[in-house]
Amino acid sequence: MTILLTTDTNGVRTLTLNRPHRKNAIDAELWDALRTALDEAGRDSSVRALVLTGAGGAFCSGADISKGLSSVHPLYRMRTLSEVTLLLHELPVPTVAKVTGVAVGAGWNLALGCDLVVATPETRFSQIFTKRGLSPDCGGSWLLPRLVGLQQAKRLALLAETIDAEEARALNLVTWTVAAAKIDAFVDELTTRLAGGAPVALAQTKALLNEGADHTLREALSAEARAQAVNFATADAPEAYAAFAGRRDAHFTGRWAVPGATPEQSEDKT
pLDDT < 50 positions in the chain = 266, 268-270
Q: Evaluate whether 256 touches 269 at the Cβ level (below 8 Å).
A: yes
How far is 252 from 201, CA to CA, in rounded Å? Answer: 10
How far is 132 from 235, CA to CA, in rounded Å? Answer: 52
* % of the chain at pLDDT higher than 70: 94
pLDDT for 9-51, tens place per residue? 999 999 999 999 999 999 999 999 999 999 999 999 999 999 9
pLDDT for 222-242, tens place per residue? 999 999 999 999 999 999 999
How far is 157 from 163, CA to CA, in rounded Å? Answer: 12
How far is 139 from 149, CA to CA, in rounded Å? Answer: 15
Instruction: Please count the other Cβ atoms lying within 10 Å of the Cβ belonging to residue 9.
Output: 12
Q: Evaluate whether 118 touches 96 at the Cβ level (below 8 Å).
A: yes
Q: Which residues are CB-neighbours of 89 under 8 A, at least 6 positions away?
A: 113, 139, 210
Q: What is the structure's pLDDT at 72?
A: 76
In sequence order, what DSSP letters do the residues of 216-243 get, joined into one string?
Answer: -HHHHHHHHHHHHHHHHTBSHHHHHHHH
Q: What is the structure's pLDDT at 228?
A: 95
How far is 122 from 165, CA to CA, in rounded Å? Answer: 7
12-17 and 4-9 strand pairing: antiparallel
SS3 122: coil
pTM of the model: 0.92
Domains and CATH numbers, the chain: 4-195 (3.90.226.10), 197-270 (1.10.12.10)
Q: What is the structure's pLDDT at 259?
A: 67
Q: What is the structure's pLDDT at 2?
A: 96
Instruction: Please count the other Cβ atoms lying within 10 Å of the Cβ belonging to residue 134.
Output: 16
Q: What is the structure's pLDDT at 269?
A: 44
pLDDT for 41-56, tens place per residue? 999 999 999 999 999 9
